[in-house]
C-alpha cells in the first residue's frame, strides 16, 4: 500500500476507548489525515465545525452513540453526504445498523485485525483521493498522478469500487501500458507484446512512473483480453508476487 496517496483525505475517528483510538489512528495515519473524537458528542461538534471526507465511528459510545451521530449528520444538508464506516459487534450490525444502507460505506465487525480495518478504510480513502484529483484535473474527465503516490493496486481497487469506465495509461522509463475498464472491471490490457492477464500482472509490479485516467476514452477499446474480473486479477497478481518472493529466498 502506498502511504502518500490518502494524505489529501481527512478521516474523523470517533471512539470512546482510548486504546482503540490509539491503535486505529496509528494504523491509518500513513494513509490519511486522522482527526480524533473522544465520543459521539465530540465528533458531532468537530464534524459541524470542519466536515471530514469520511467518518470511522464506533457504534457503542456513551451519550450520543454511533447511530445517533449518523442520523444527526444525515439530517443536515452540509454533512449528509459524508460516508460512514461503523465498528460494531456482529449482533449490533445485523440488528441495529444494517438498515442504515444509504450513506454507510461498510461495517467492520468486532473483534477485528488492524490490517483488515486498514484494508477496508483505505479502499474508501483511495476512492475519495481519486475524486479529489478529478475535481482538480486540468482537463475535464482526465486524472493524472504518479505511482509513487498511488499504487497500481490502489488505482485498480478504486476504479472497481467506483464502478468506473475509463482508460488507464501508465508509463515508466520508456515503457507504456494501457488498461481499459468497464463498470470497474478490467476488460483489456496491453503493454508491449503482452496482452490480457499477463500485461496486468507486469504493470502491477511497477512502483514508480506516471498514470493517466481518461474517463472520456472508456469506449476506445472493444476488446476483451483478460480472463478474470478486477478482484481476480489482483488476487492472482498478489499470489504470483508471493510465490516469486518465496522463490527468491535462499534455502538454509
pLDDT in tens, 78-136: 999 999 998 888 888 776 676 665 668 888 888 888 889 998 898 899 888 888 888 87
Q: What percent of the chain has pLDDT over 70?
A: 91
Q: What percent of the chain has pLDDT over 90?
A: 52
Average pLDDT over residues 227-240: 93
Mean of all residue pLDDT scores within the chain: 88
pLDDT for 132 equals: 84
Query: In whole angstroms, what is the distance from residue 140 CA to residue 162 CA?
Result: 18
Closest alpha carbon to 40 in 21, 26, 57, 53: 57
Query: In whole angstroms, what is the distance from residue 78 CA to residue 225 CA?
Result: 44
Check whether 140 has a pLDDT greater than 80. Answer: yes
Query: In whole angstroms, what is the distance from residue 29 CA to residue 37 CA?
Result: 15
pLDDT for 7 equals: 67
Query: In whole angstroms, what is the distance from residue 10 CA to residue 78 CA?
Result: 16
Average pLDDT over residues 224-245: 91
Packed helices 114-135 and 152-161: angle between N→C axes, nearest 10 degrees: 80
pLDDT for 250 equals: 59
Check whether 3 has a pLDDT greater than 80. Answer: no
Identify the band that residue 225 occupies on the pLDDT scale cut at 50, 70 and 90.
very high
Count other C-beta atoms under 10 Å from residue 217's C-beta.
18
Check whether 11 has a pLDDT greater than 90. Answer: yes
At 18 the three-state DSSP class reads helix
pLDDT for 103 equals: 63
Name the architecture of domain 5-130: 3-Layer(aba) Sandwich (3.40)
Phi, psi dihedrals of residue 236, rounded to the nearest 5°: -65, -40
* 181-212 tens-digit pLDDT: 999 999 999 999 999 999 999 999 998 999 99
Check whether 52 has a pLDDT greater than 50. Answer: yes
What single-letter DSSP state applies at residue 101?
-
pLDDT for 100 equals: 62
Identify the band that residue 4 occupies on the pLDDT scale cut at 50, 70 and 90.
very low
Which sequence spans correspond to the domains of the chain?
A: 5-130, 139-245
The whole-model pTM stands at: 0.71
pLDDT for 130 equals: 85
Check whether 21 has a pLDDT greater than 90. Answer: yes
* 148-183 tens-digit pLDDT: 888 899 899 889 888 889 999 999 988 999 999 999
Amino acid at each position: 500500500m502506498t502511504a502518500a496517496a490518502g494524505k489529501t483525505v481527512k478521516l474523523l475517528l470517533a471512539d470512546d476507548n482510548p486504546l482503540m483510538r490509539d491503535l486505529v489512528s496509528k494504523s491509518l495515519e500513513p494513509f490519511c489525515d486522522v482527526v480524533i473524537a473522544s465520543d459521539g458528542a465530540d465528533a458531532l461538534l468537530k464534524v459541524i465545525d470542519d466536515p471530514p471526507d469520511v467518518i470511522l465511528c464506533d457504534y457503542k459510545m456513551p451519550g450520543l452513540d454511533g447511530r445517533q451521530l449518523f442520523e444527526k449528520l444525515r439530517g443536515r444538508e452540509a454533512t449528509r453526504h459524508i460516508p460512514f464506516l461503523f465498528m460494531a459487534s456482529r449482533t449490533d450490525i445485523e440488528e441495529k445498523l444494517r438498515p442504515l444502507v444509504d450513506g454507510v460505506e461498510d461495517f467492520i465487525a468486532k473483534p477485528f485485525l488492524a490490517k483488515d480495518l486498514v484494508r477496508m478504510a483505505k479502499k474508501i480513502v483511495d476512492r475519495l483521493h481519486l475524486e479529489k484529483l478529478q475535481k482538480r484535473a486540468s482537463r475535464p474527465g482526465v486524472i493524472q498522478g504518479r505511482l509513487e503516490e498511488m499504487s497500481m493496486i490502489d488505482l485498480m481497487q478504486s476504479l472497481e469500487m467506483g464502478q468506473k469506465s475509463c482508460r488507464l495509461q501508465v508509463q515508466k522509463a520508456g515503457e507504456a501500458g494501457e488498461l481499459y475498464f468497464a463498470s470497474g472491471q478490467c476488460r483489456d490490457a496491453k503493454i508491449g507484446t503482452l496482452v490480457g492477464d499477463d500485461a496486468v500482472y507486469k504493470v502491477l509490479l511497477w512502483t514508480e512512473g506516471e498514470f493517466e485516467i481518461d474517463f472520456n476514452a472508456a469506449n476506445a477499446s472493444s476488446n476483451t483480453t483478460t480472463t478474470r474480473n478486477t478482484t481476480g486479477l489482483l488476487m492472482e497478481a498478489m499470489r504470483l508476487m508471493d510465490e516469486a518472493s518465496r522463490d527468491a529466498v535462499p534455502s538454509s
